[in-house]
Structure 1
Amino acid sequence: MAEYEITTAGIREMARFLEWAAEEQWNPGKMDHLPFHAADPRGFLLGKLDEDPVTSISAVRYGADFGFIGFYIARPPFRGQGYGIQAWRAAMQHLNGRRVGLDGVVDQQDSYRKSGFRTAWTHMRYAGVPAGEVPSGDVTVTDAGSVPFGTLASYDRRFFPARRDAFLSLWVGTPGHTALVALQDGELKGFGVVRPAESGARVGPLYADSDDIALALLNSLAAAQQGVPLAMDVPDVNVPAIRLMERLGLEPTFECARMYTGDAPAIDMAGLFAATTIELG
């Protein structure tokens, strides 16, 4: 009998998670393993069959009462044999007692509902090179390092269910990541990050107090990529965000449902123009 074992993945093994995610067309960032691992070093589980890696899943703990499931993958030859569900149970045990979120692809959403998850909204991935459009307001866009980290972390908390300082500090500082803030009268009004991905570049998060501020940030993030196509996961309940994507000529290419156990968390949906990642929330 083959022996199946679920182990905690180290940072070197995280490269395998990104490789498998790319094969599933999820298009992860090229350097995501560094901040991802910092979010919860014990939150990445690798299933091995006779030492051969066959499943992956992440179960990242944030704060005292929130967690997020991602990277739920069984290698194609090993699907339908019970290995994936064993990894799922181990991940959910790691998050026991917490509200749990995930982004579910269309063909898995019914399975997640049977596990107690409910859809809060749908993320629509928009992709392309944004058309030039000039913001109407007076907005200053500058490097995120120009504001105190505590201020940035508090702003991030408006749009995310828990503090995630360890993750955020690396997300804005990882080589290749461009992190920008928008200021009006010296006050923080927006925040965005763009990073190289397996295909093009990914924007996330994109927070803004108005669609005009989101536009200013997106223009600067696009300029940093010098014509490389961008992709971002936009909540469909933020109608101004969807309209902005359409105005800029970006095309919907992928969708997944943001789902939670229990009620959706109370976050600033009006200012959430694009999620950070579909892997870690």
Structure 2
Amino acid sequence: MKTIFAALAIASLPVIATAQEVQIETAAGAVSVPAAPEAVVTLDLAAFDTLTALGVDVAAVPAVSPPAYLAEALAGKPTVGSLFEPDFEALAVMGPDLIVAGGRSQRQVEPLSKIATAIDMTISGENLLADAKARIEAYGKVFGNEAGADKLLGDLDAAIAQVQSAAEGKGNALIVLTNGGKISAYGDDSRFGWLHTELGLPEAFPELTAETHGEAISFEFIAEVNPDWIFVVDRGAAIGQEGEAAAVTLDNPLVAGTTAGASGQIVYLDSARLYLVGGGYHSLMGTIDEVLAAFTADPS
């Protein structure tokens, strides 16, 4: 009889192990992770943003000057290194159940996996919205909150549809990044390209080349393209860098003479959302709200 019970116990072990893990899609493909992990560390701000939206209490985060909209959520959290360099010793002492890396910490996934289960949840610039949605779905699965994930995805789709409707017939747009006195532009295949492809903003200049910091342009280029709308990302402001503000950089006759400049249709976006937390749920919703507000503002 003891032999029978022992055999039954051994046979049940794989079932128990399987029940304690869940398979999700990551930037590196399908992986198995602990189900409903208690101690979760994230080294990626987009991941922190989305996990917070799902009600997950993250145990530790990277040391970073936080975007204003995440400041309260990040306040008081233990820090374990930077966005690029984790503090492996602090993580080893903490012993988390799951480490979520990605983006700037993507290269650290392998060494982090020696401490705990580590996953690469990078959101690519080329497929930003699709990746962002996939991450929401994956986190919902990990934490047994599929209903919450579905709610976020539904709200996101509804917000996108609103902008698409509001943007219809409103003209084309140029996405410009300022970096001190330098300027560059982004097309539909870039990290900010979802503003074109998903929100329905026609490109003012479709031939732009995708680059990490955009394609370098001049004020003369902006004047020649003559966009109806200019959406501005201030890199210096996003990373807390001292220097010339975007509004100062773009304050010149060439930009002022464009349709966007003459019509008051130069929109300064919350740069930290886009530049530091691209693809996070709150980041996406905040940017979408800004674009919607621009298209629905009273022109008078």
Structure 2 length-normalised TM: 0.25
Q: Which has the higher helix share?
A: 2
Q: Which has the higher strand share?
A: 1
Q: Computing the radius of gyration over CA atoms, which structure comes out larger, 1 or 2? A: 2
Structure 1 length-normalised TM: 0.27
